[in-house]
Structure 1
Amino acid sequence: MPVKRLFVAALLLAAAPAGAHNLWIKPSAATVSGEDGWVSFDAAASTDVFVADHQPLRVEQIKAFTPDGSEARIENGITGRYRSTFDLHLTKPGTWRVAVENAGLQGSYKLGGEDYRVGGRPPGGPGGMRPAGAPGAAAANARGPAGGPTGAAPPQRPGMTGKFVPGGPDFVLPAGATDVKLTQSASRNEVFVTLGEPTEIKPTGKGLEMVPLTHPADLVADAPGRFRFLVEGKPAANLEVRLIPDGKRYRNDQGEIVAKTNAAGEVSVPWPSAGLYWLNATYQDGTSSIANASGRRFNYVTTLEVMTP
């Protein structure tokens, strides 16, 4: 998938920082039988996973893909106060993917005595001011950022300082910038649903990815689920993987399961019971393939359905 398309969703992902609100996409079913079928989805960010109490994921930022990788149409999308809902019509057999993804830069710099904040959520909406010297900056800034009046800076969110600058793939650090603190970032929040026989899930070699050694359509409570995690296509060793089962509203604790990958990036998860599980892993280090970035931080989220034997 082109990086520019991925960046569209970065705006919302940054609105739910780690440790505050968890992003999730919840399918009505992960496996469907027959020659065609429908799956409904809820999507939101919340403190407790699968409990819609904070804010929705926007339907327009969610993409669906057929088993051959072509983009599919999301139908009947509605964004409410706390969650979005939508349907996906499975018209061909195999494993479909629903995802919110982003790639870009986050951080800050100073220029001409002013502070600039790169990436994350714009303070007035999904737009923002571009840095001087960036492609199209003059025209874009003259129009004004989304959520603010023409030619005016957007209102700041509480606790945020500095002018907002999009951190997308066309970001150019302006000449003369100082105190540069930029991090390469990428996030992937995806769900797999299968009609009939499952098909292979192939990695893209970008960001942090999960490659199922046990296919999501074959997860059962009496057998461990096995997964391989990759960072830019290479095994993610010693990666902490967290899983939280559905139903937190009816428990006194998260019921969290924590496991670590081995040298090959693989992890085996024993299921305490059947049900839906939210899986999350985060990778960060001090390297980056992007100029002016001093490190990278990748995040991965998926929802898994574990069936009774």
Structure 2
Amino acid sequence: MKRLVYAAAAFAFLIPAAADAHRAWLRPSATVLSTKDTFVTVDAAVSNDLFYFEFRPLPLDGLEITAPDGSTIAPENANSGKLRSTFDIPLKTPGTYRIALVDDRLMAQYTDNGEKKRWRGKVENLKEIPASASDVVVIQSQRRMETFVTAGKTDETALKPAGKGLEMQPITHPNDLVANDEASFRLLLDGKPAADMKIEIVPGGVRYRNQPGDFSVTTDKDGVFKVKWPEAGLYWMEASVTDDKPSVKEASKRRSTYAATLEVLPE
């Protein structure tokens, strides 16, 4: 690498064109179950209409399932088809499970022999960029996408933040959400409150409405944001931030994104 170019325009160039048109999501078959010793099936996809399969499957790389005792468990029957990925989770222990897709990698663009090229991968594979490359831009991309399932009584062991990138720290338990009630959450960036950040919230069932019904809220100085759910159903929320605080020395900027699927139950 002959030189790094720290340019906002270059960073924008690295963001996939589909990012504005499509949303990535997880959808569990159920979020609250009365007993343990059962299963939930989770769908994972990228689509225009939330929670419908019409674009492509979501890769399951970086899947992390945290059990109520804080241990990590493996999915069963994981599979990726043409439009969605699916996997089963055995709920052998009572309590709350956290299902997350976590991704932390680098994106780059560079010029080699007069040709502009792109690269995406892990930091240990950065050597794949030719030593002869010039105008190299390296961006760290962090993403956490998650949903929550409770078998029996809710608890909070699995909800402990990892302290890396954007995360949501529930104040109201994510499996205790009720229509027309107000719920509170805290948004964290690297384990610290993320103030003055916008969170986009979109209810499912968009294809059956003339209006998308989306709305947004903003975190306060302590990273706290509150949501009053207008009706029961599945909701998708997302927040993102771009800063100059990558954890990888080769990168000049970082984009961190958090997304979650939450179910709101009737009154």
TM range (shorter): 0.7 to 0.9
Offset from partner CA, 1:227-259 (integer Å, 9 cap, x none): 111111111111110111111111012110211
Report percent identity of matched pairs. 44
CA contact (8 A) 1:63 1:99 kept: yes
2:184 counterpart of 1:226: yes
Q: Give the whole-Å Cα distance in 2 for the aligned partners of 1:175 and 1:53.
A: 41
Partner of 2:4: none
Q: 1:169 to 1:212 in 2, by over 3 A?
A: farther
Tell me how many residue pairs correspond in the alignment. Answer: 250
Residue 205 of structure 1 is matched in structure 2 by: 163
1:158-209 per-residue CA deviation (whole Å, 9 max, x = no partner) reads xxxxxxxx34445247656431212111001111111122221111110110
Give the match's secondary structure for 2:175: helix
Structure 2-normalised TM-score? 0.85
CA pair 64-16 structure 1, distance change in 2 beyond 3 A:
farther
Pairwise mapping of residues 113-262 of structure 1 onto structure 2 (< 5 A)? 113-119=114-120, 166-172=121-127, 175=131, 177-200=133-156, 201-262=159-220
Alignment CA distance shift 1:73-1:286 (3 Å):
closer
Instruction: Describe the shift of the 1:76–1:197 C-alpha distance in structure 2 as closer, same or farther (beyond 3 A).
Output: same
For residues 27-66 of structure 1, what are the alpha-carbon distances to aligned partners after superposition, in whole Å with 9 as ceiling and x for unaligned? 1111111232221222110012112110112356534231
CA distance in 2, matches of 1:239, 1:107: 26
Distance 1:16 1:32, change over 3 A: farther
Aligned equivalents of 1:263, 1:174: Cα separation in 2 = 44
Structure 2 letter corresponding to 1:171: L
Higher mean displacement: 27-36 or 77-86? 77-86
User: For 1:100 and 1:263, how far apart are their aligned partners in 2?
Assistant: 28
CA distance in 1, matches of 2:184, 2:231: 16
SS in 2 for 1:34: coil
Name the counterpart of 1:308: 266
In the alignment, structure 1 segments of 5+ residues that lack a partner are 1-13, 120-165
Letter in 2 for 1:212: P
Name the one with the larger strand percent. Answer: 2
In structure 1, the residue matched to 2:71 is 70
Provide the secondary structure at the position in 1 that maps to 2:207. Answer: helix
Q: If the length of structure 1 is used for normalisation, what is the TM-score?
A: 0.75
Write the letter of the residue equivalent to 1:280.
E
Q: 1:266 Cα deviation (Å)? A: 0.8
